[in-house]
């Protein structure tokens, strides 16, 4: 009897006690099929599954592991922190240090509140925007994901005047009735929405480089219109940088685009792999938050001393001179290599990257919106995903997810990835 696949065994056990066998849906491989890999350990650019098979990791915990797994300075900081205590439920100096470090790197923020997940940060920023403006309506874009707070689990209504409908059971339509869902990069729609509802809009929330539809950039014109229309109508511009913050560059997507949002939502990298996220902005807005102001927000583990130690140690490393130049160069070499491999085999393919974040599409264009991304041939993507997985390369198990390169990925890892993809492109040649 060949060695039983330990991932199958664990998956069966997991499904008996955890819905779908996972604690976050995308991990279940339902979009790509097959058995999720149960990871036993990780180091640098790699992790090993339950069969002790090694993979080059392009998930990086969906963004946080920008230094790679187990960076010595981060491990040391966490080990020291846990010996001082896991959690106090009282303020600590380290929370001040992390807040100061974030504010030094995100000039649009004068104050920041630490929380434990991107969902919590986006949800809180939304409540703050509504509280600070006294308005109810919000704008989001199809293809952007801001966590699973009820008001943000919305799909587009039938037209501009109509508001969104819930994308999830358990979300009453009353909760999403104030959420307008527009097409990403569609300036005409944006202008119409503000013309119709401008004075009732509390905020516009956007991923300025959208990693939840793989990798779609807001055009500079679109991003500027979002900024200008929010200013003109007194709505707050909220950049959800949970994924792009400290990932696409030291100053995030707002640094790449040169746009100053009113509020910024952060997560992933700032926690270095521990549960930590944040939201922040100008003092006048942030001081609307409890305990100073009327907008309530709280959290047992907010600013957790171990998570803040992990985040601080991570930020210290990425703030070092040359970090992003080296990371960007490595990511670009991956993207250019994949494009060349696909072209050599006559496969429709395009890709883009910024800093340590990349995306690719099995089409020759770079999509500008969600509808175009979703025209991807699922079967072709799944074949590529599993072909890479079999060759020890782990990319996102869904075509609408971005990829992440860490400082630990070597040139050899990049070359091996490109070669693996070339073999798959070649094999999928029409005979």
- Annotated active-site positions, please? 145, 240, 268
Assess 143 for contact with ligand KE4 (CB under 6 A).
Answer: no
What is the Cα gyration radius of the chain?
21
Assess 354 for contact with ligand KE4 (CB under 6 A).
Answer: no
Rounded to whole angstroms, the Cα distance separating 176 from 163 reads 7
From the CB of residue 343, how many other CB atoms can be counted at a distance below 10 Å? 14
Per residue in 88-112, is it b (16+ CB within 10 Å) or e — as a string?
Answer: eeeebebbeebbebbeebbebbebb
Assess 420 for contact with ligand KE4 (CB under 6 A).
Answer: no
- Member of 7, 92, 108, 117 binding ligand KE4 (CB under 6 A): 117
Q: Which is nearer to ligand KE4, 117 or 331 (CB)?
A: 117
Rounded to whole angstroms, the Cα distance separating 244 from 210 reads 8
Q: How far is the CB of 132 from ligand KE4 (least distance, A)?
A: 20
Contact segment (CB under 6 A) with ligand KE4 among 8-16, 118-126, 319-327, 378-386 equals 118-126
Q: How far is the CB of 372 from ligand KE4 (least distance, A)?
A: 18
The 145-164 contact track toward ligand KE4, x by CB under 6 A, reads: xxx-----------------
What is each CA distance from 290 to 93, 114, 124, in whole angstroms?
20, 13, 11
Q: How far is the CB of 416 from ligand KE4 (least distance, A)?
A: 25
Site for ligand KE4 in 38-67 (CB under 6 A): 62
> Do residues 118 and 147 lie in contact, with contact meaning Cβ atoms separated by under 8 Å?
yes
Q: How far is the CB of 242 from ligand KE4 (least distance, A)?
A: 4
Residue number of the CB atom closest to ligand KE4:
118
Site for ligand KE4 in 387-406 (CB under 6 A): 401
Size of the site for ligand KE4 (CB under 6 A): 19
Rounded to whole angstroms, the Cα distance separating 266 from 252 reads 10
| Alpha helix (H) residue ranges in 258-373 | 283-286, 305-318, 323-344, 370-373
Per residue in 176-214, is it b (16+ CB within 10 Å) or e — as a string?
Answer: bbbbbbbbbbbeebbeebbeebbeebbbbbbbbbbbbbb
Q: How far is the CB of 51 from ligand KE4 (least distance, A)?
A: 23
Rounded to whole angstroms, the Cα distance separating 196 from 201 reads 10
Assess 108 for contact with ligand KE4 (CB under 6 A).
Answer: no
From the CB of residue 227, how many other CB atoms can be counted at a distance below 10 Å? 19
Contact segment (CB under 6 A) with ligand KE4 among 87-95, 127-135, 142-150, 190-198 equals 142-150
Contact segment (CB under 6 A) with ligand KE4 among 113-121, 190-198, 283-291, 320-328 equals 113-121
The 186-225 contact track toward ligand KE4, x by CB under 6 A, reads: ---------------------x---xx-------------
Q: Which is nearer to ligand KE4, 64 or 305 (CB)?
A: 64
Strand 263-266: give its sheet, edge to edge.
Answer: 111-115, 277-281, 263-266, 236-241, 201-206, 137-141, 179-182
Assess 24 for contact with ligand KE4 (CB under 6 A).
Answer: yes
Rounded to whole angstroms, the Cα distance separating 176 from 173 reads 5
Assess 242 for contact with ligand KE4 (CB under 6 A).
Answer: yes
Give the residue from 277, 298, 389, 384 showing the smallest Cα distance to 341.
Answer: 384
The 288-307 contact track toward ligand KE4, x by CB under 6 A, reads: --------------------
Q: How far is the CB of 423 from ligand KE4 (least distance, A)?
A: 28
Assess 413 for contact with ligand KE4 (CB under 6 A).
Answer: no
The 265-284 contact track toward ligand KE4, x by CB under 6 A, reads: --x---------x-------
Rounded to whole angstroms, the Cα distance separating 68 from 409 reads 7
Q: DSSP letter at 248? A: S
Residues counted in the chain = 431
By the criterion CB under 6 A, which residues form the site for ligand KE4? 24, 26, 62, 117-119, 122, 145-147, 207, 211-212, 240, 242-243, 267, 277, 401
């Amino acid at each position: 009897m060949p060695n039983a696949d330990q991932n199958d065994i664990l998956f069966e056990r997991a499904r008996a006690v955890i819905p779908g066998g996972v604690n976050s849906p995308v991990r279940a491989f339902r979009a790509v099929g097959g058995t999720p890999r149960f990871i036993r350990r990780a180091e640098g650019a790699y992790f090993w599954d339950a069969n002790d098979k090694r993979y080059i990791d392009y998930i990086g915990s969906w963004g946080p592991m920008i230094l790679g797994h187990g960076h010595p300075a981060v491990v040391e900081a966490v080990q020291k922190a846990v010996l001082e205590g896991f959690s106090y439920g009282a303020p600590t100096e380290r929370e001040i240090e992390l807040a100061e470090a974030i504010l030094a790197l995100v000039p649009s923020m004068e104050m920041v509140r630490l929380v434990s997940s991107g969902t919590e940060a986006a949800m809180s920023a939304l409540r703050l925007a509504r509280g600070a403006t006294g308005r109810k309506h919000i704008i989001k874009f199809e293809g952007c994901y801001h966590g699973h707070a009820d008001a943000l689990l919305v799909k587009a209504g039938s037209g501009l005047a109509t508001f969104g409908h819930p994308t999830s059971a358990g979300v009453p339509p009353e909760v999403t009735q104030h959420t307008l869902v527009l097409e990403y990069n569609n300036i005409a729609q944006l202008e119409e929405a503000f013309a119709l509802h401008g004075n009732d809009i509390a905020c516009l929330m956007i991923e300025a480089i959208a990693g939840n539809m793989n990798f779609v950039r807001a055009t500079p014109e679109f991003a500027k219109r979002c900024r200008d229309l929010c200013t003109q109508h007194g709505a707050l511009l909220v950049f959800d940088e949970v994924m792009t913050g400290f990932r696409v560059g030291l100053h995030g997507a707002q640094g790449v685009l040169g746009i100053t949002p009113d509020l910024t939502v952060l997560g992933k990298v700032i926690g270095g792999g521990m549960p930590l996220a944040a939201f922040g902005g100008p003092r006048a807005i942030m001081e609307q938050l409890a305990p100073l102001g009327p907008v309530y927000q709280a959290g047992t583990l907010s600013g957790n001393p171990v998570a803040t130690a992990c985040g601080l140690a991570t930020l210290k490393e990425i703030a070092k001179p040359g970090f992003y130049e080296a990371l960007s160069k490595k990511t670009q070499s991956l993207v250019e290599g994949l494009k060349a491999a696909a072209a050599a085999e006559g496969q429709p393919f395009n890709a883009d990257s910024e800093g340590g974040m990349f995306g690719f599409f099995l089409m020759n264009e770079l999509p500008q919106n969600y509808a175009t991304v979703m025209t991807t041939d699922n079967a072709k993507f799944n074949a590529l995903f599993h072909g890479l997985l079999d060759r020890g390369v782990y990319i996102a198990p869904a075509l609408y997810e971005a990829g992440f390169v860490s400082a630990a990925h070597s040139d050899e890892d990049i070359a091996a990835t490109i070669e693996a993809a070339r073999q798959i492109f070649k094999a999928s040649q029409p005979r």
